[in-house]
Structure 1
Amino acid sequence: MTEQPIWAAIAAALRAEIAEGARRPGDRLPTEAQLADRFGVNRHTVRRGLAALADEGLVRSRRGAGVYVAPRSTDYQLGRRVRFHRNIEAAGRLPEKRFTLIETRPARPVEAAALGLDETETVVASDGISLSDGSPIALFTSIFPTDRLPGMADALARVHSVTEALRLCGVPDYVRTSTRISGVTADAAQAARLEIRPGAALIHSESINVDTTGRPIEYGQTFFVGERVTLTLDHS
């Protein structure tokens, strides 16, 4: 029988502690030096064991702050009415959206096609990051037709909620008409923002929402962290 590498044994011991609840989501692991002392090995061996756990999505590193047990996967429902805050709260988590860009600009071809606009028309474009219990779970881009939603840019900047901003712009309800899902890998920029390694699995969704008259009001793209989100398709 082949003897288990020491780094794998370290990973197995920590994996078991996480599974048994001795180390809970959000807990900081001992430092590399402390783990090296515990297992009687050098830091390189410890680092390799931690890397194996990171590849499994069980732990994640925060630059300058150490290694932490990763949060449990958040269940996220996709159906006719997709609402970020409601979905995250239904999973028993604390939702947060941080907008990093809100601007008015000419529509790009794919955006114009999705929203039924002429390419000469303008849109309100917003980018940001979604968090669950303070952990980054997705990067999002939402595009809105300027003429159909006067004041949308100001509303988004004020309330930081798509649903509430749409309500302020005269859209009390809206529904999802299409969602396309594909698998991709994180590039360096995405990985840095989501606190994952480059090449980690992402779930890419592309969607269109319409108002109660059937007019497209939002074209969105979202990149979910595969190890932190479980998508559930609601057919009810």
Structure 2
Amino acid sequence: MTGARTPLWQSIATALSNEIAAGHYALGDRLPTEAVLSARFGVNRHTLRRALGDLAERGLVHSRRGSGVFVAAKPTDYPLGRRVRFHRNLRAAGRLPGKAILATETRAANADEARALALPTGAMVHVHDGLSLADSQPIAVFRSVFPAARFPDLPTALHDEGSVTAALARFGVADYTRASTRLNAVTATPTQALHLRIREGAPVLRTTGINVDSDGRPVEYGTTWFAGDRVTITLDPEAEGRHGSVTEAD
């Protein structure tokens, strides 16, 4: 028994988004005409327009009546080093950083969170969920988890400061570094797809890691889900000492 075939329009959308991500088309470039693309992919214009519509919904292209379809976004280079600052990275790439807080709660840690933060089972943690933006376009959903006993009023500090670094500084954490990072590809959940304006099941890149203070004590356990076609992750050892947060909350 064979699996379901991928719809042609979806395959075309994936091919074009990959080409945009690879730099075949730069920001502001006009894509080939519908006639040219239809011939290239061997489909009718209705199928092609559905693929272009999908790219438009994701914010990758926009159409101008009588002029064509143009690239509206380019992937952001995002270096991962021992220290990574979301705002600094985007500004260095010529993008305007932004953040939207989705939810903040204090609850008992699950097993993974307790293990990552070196806490006893059932210890209380602050959970900070948000959306990272580049030029007002969502590029990632993040979750940061912090030990509540050590940082009792951290949710208020995060709300006031709008920055993990500044919030932790209120509690005497002058610096923190990445102790470990895991990267893997997953598919977007319905909620993630809604926030990132992508299709449910579309590929996203998940980074999971632990930040520690200067004494090696865990201060943050973070997970970030990047829209796969909006960010190019690079491993940059030279970023150490220049940048810092395992999640994109900073």
State the TM bucket, normalised to the shorter chain. Answer: 0.7 to 0.9
Secondary structure of residue in 1 paired with 2:177: strand
Separation in 2 of the partners of 1:61 and 1:198? 13
Secondary structure of residue in 1 paired with 2:120: coil
Does the CA contact (< 8 Å) of 1:174 and 1:209 recur in 2? yes
Separation in 2 of the partners of 1:89 and 1:125? 27
Separation in 2 of the partners of 1:20 and 1:204? 26
Does the CA contact (< 8 Å) of 2:110 and 2:122 recur in 1? no
Structure 2 stretches lacking a partner, 5+ long: 1-11, 39-43, 64-69, 239-250
Does the CA contact (< 8 Å) of 1:177 and 1:208 recur in 2? yes
Deviation at 1:178? Answer: 0.4
Deviation at 1:161? Answer: 1.4
TM-score of the aligned structures, taking structure 1 as reference length: 0.76
Paired residues, number? 205
Instruction: Pick from 57, 67, 72 the counterpart of residue 61 of structure 1.
Output: 57
- 1:69-80 pair list within 5 angstroms: 69-80=71-82
Structure with the greater alpha carbon radius of gyration: 1
Secondary structure of residue in 1 paired with 2:144: strand
For residues 175 and 103 of structure 1, do their structure 2 counterparts lie closer, same or farther at Cα, with a shift above 3 Å needed? same
**Match for residue 170 of structure 1?**
172
Q: Which amino acid aligns with 1:211?
A: D
Q: Per-residue displacement from partner, 1:166-210 (whole Å, max 9, x unpaired)?
A: 112221110001000001111222111101112211001101000
Does the CA contact (< 8 Å) of 1:181 and 1:205 recur in 2? yes
Bigger RCO (CA 8 Å, 6+ sep): 2
For residues 115 and 47 of structure 1, do their structure 2 counterparts lie closer, same or farther at Cα, with a shift above 3 Å needed? farther
Deviation at 1:60? Answer: 2.5
Structure 1 stretches lacking a partner, 5+ long: 1-7, 30-34, 40-44
TM-score of the aligned structures, taking structure 2 as reference length: 0.72
Identity level (%)? 48
Separation in 1 of the partners of 2:186 and 2:79? 20
1:104 equivalent in alignment to 2:106? yes
Deviation at 1:101? Answer: 0.6
Q: Which amino acid aligns with 2:220?
A: E
Separation in 2 of the partners of 1:50 and 1:184? 27
Does the CA contact (< 8 Å) of 2:25 and 2:71 recur in 1? no
Secondary structure of residue in 2 paired with 1:60: helix
**Match for residue 208 of structure 1?**
210
Q: Which amino acid aligns with 2:50?
A: A
**Match for residue 120 of structure 1?**
122
Q: Please list every run of at least 4 consecutive aligned residues from structure 1 whose deviation after the TM superposition is greater than 3 angstroms.
A: 18-21, 50-55, 66-70
